[in-house]
Amino acid sequence: MQQIIHKYHKPVLLREVLEGIITTDEKDIYVDVTFGGGGHSAELLKKLATEATLLAFDQDQQSIINNTLQDLRLKIFHRNFRYIENILRIQGIFKVSGILADLGVSSHQLDTPERGFSIRYNQTLDMRMDQRIKKYAKDILNNYSHESLAKIFFYYGELRNARKLATYIVYKRKEKTIENTFELIEIIKNEITGRNKQKFFAKIFQALRIEVNDELASLKFLLKSVIKILRKGARIAVISYHSLEDSLVKQFFKNGRFEKTPIEDFFGKKKFPFLPISRKPISPQIEEIQKNPRSRSARLRIAKKTR
C-alpha cells in the first residue's frame, strides 16, 4: 500500500509523537500540517488502519516533490497550515482525530545553499519557505526602517543589542545593498555579544526567517483553527524549536487562547478546551540527539481536546 523514499529527513521525537496522537480511532482522519521530508507521515500511515485518511500540508513545494510517499490514504496540499480549516471544509471534513505540527526548518532547506537559510553558504538571503511569496530576507534588510529592524531582532531574535544592530545595518546598506549571507555576517560580526558567535548569527537568521514567512502569525491561525476541527478526546502534538513558538503553544494549550486568563462563559465560568498531557515539554533522548544533532532544541507539547 505504501512506498516512501526519504531523501533527507529524520523525523524528530517520532515514537513520542505516534504514542501521543494516535489514541482514539485508528480508522479516522489525521493531519500532518508540516509534511516536510515525509518521515512523520510515513510512520503515521504504518500505524493507521486501512480505512483511515491522512491529510498533509506543506508550503514548500520542493518538500512535496522530493519525497515520494505513495499511499491511497494520503492527500497532500501545497498550502500553509494557516489555511487548514478552509481546506478541510472544502474536502467536506469538519472534525479530525489527531494533528501533528513539526515547526522546524527542514534539513533540506538548511542544506540547500540557494534557499539562503544557513549561515554556512554564501548565497542570496532568501529564506522563503513558500517560494510563491515575493518577500526575501534581503528585502527586509535593505528596505525596512531602523525601528522595524530593531523590533524584528529584539522580538524574533531575542537580541539585547537589537537597536545597535539595526543602526549598523542601516548605515552599511547606504554604502552597498546587502544581498548575500557572508555580506550580512561581515557587517554584524563586530557586534557579536557572548562567546558563541554561531548562536548569535543563528538568532539573526531566525529573526529574518520568522519575518519573511510570518511564522508566528501562521502558528496562531493554526492553533485557533484546532479548537474547531479537533474532535473531543482527540489530541494535537506540536514540536517547536525556540521559546517564541513554545510559549505560544504552552499558553494556548493552557487557556485555549493566547491571553494569560482562560475563556469564560456568560456566567463567568472558566472554560479549558485543552488538557496538556504533561506540564513540561518532552525533549529528545540522548540517543536521538547523537543520531540527529538537529533534534537537540526540539520541544514537544501534546494536548487533549476536552470539549
d(CA 282, CA 15): 11
The amino acid at 148: S
Which segments of the chain belong to CATH 3.40.50.150? Answer: 3-108+215-305
263 exposure class (CB count in 10 Å sphere: 0-12, 13-18, 19+):
middle
Which segments of the chain belong to CATH 1.10.150.170? Answer: 116-213
Q: Could you tell me the three cell numbers for 205?
A: 537568521
Indicate left, alpha or beta for 214 from its phi (over 0: left) and psi (-120 to 50: alpha): left
Output phi, psi for 78, to 5 deg.
Answer: -85, 75
176 exposure class (CB count in 10 Å sphere: 0-12, 13-18, 19+):
exposed
The pTM score is: 0.92
pLDDT the model gives residue 190: 80
pLDDT the model gives residue 165: 94
Q: What CATH homologous superfamily does 116-213 map to?
A: Putative methyltransferase TM0872, insert domain (1.10.150.170)
Say how many C-beta atoms besides its own lie within 10 A of residue 5's C-beta: 11
- Which residue blocks in 48-158 are alpha helix, DSSP H? 61-65, 84-90, 107-111, 137-143, 146-151
- Long-range pairs for 138-141: beta carbons < 8 A, 24 or more residues apart: 138/177, 138/178, 138/179, 140/208, 140/211, 140/212, 141/169, 141/173, 141/178, 141/184, 141/208
d(CA 280, CA 300): 9
pLDDT the model gives residue 52: 94
pLDDT the model gives residue 9: 63
pLDDT the model gives residue 5: 44
pLDDT the model gives residue 3: 47
CA nearest neighbour of 21 among 237, 255, 292: 237
pLDDT the model gives residue 24: 67
Output phi, psi for 64, to 5 deg.
Answer: -75, -45
d(CA 205, CA 66): 25
CATH number of 3-108+215-305: 3.40.50.150
Averages of pLDDT over runs of 10 residues in the chain (307 residues) are 52 95 84 94 93 95 81 94 97 96 88 87 95 96 98 96 94 96 91 79 95 98 96 96 96 94 84 93 95 93 95
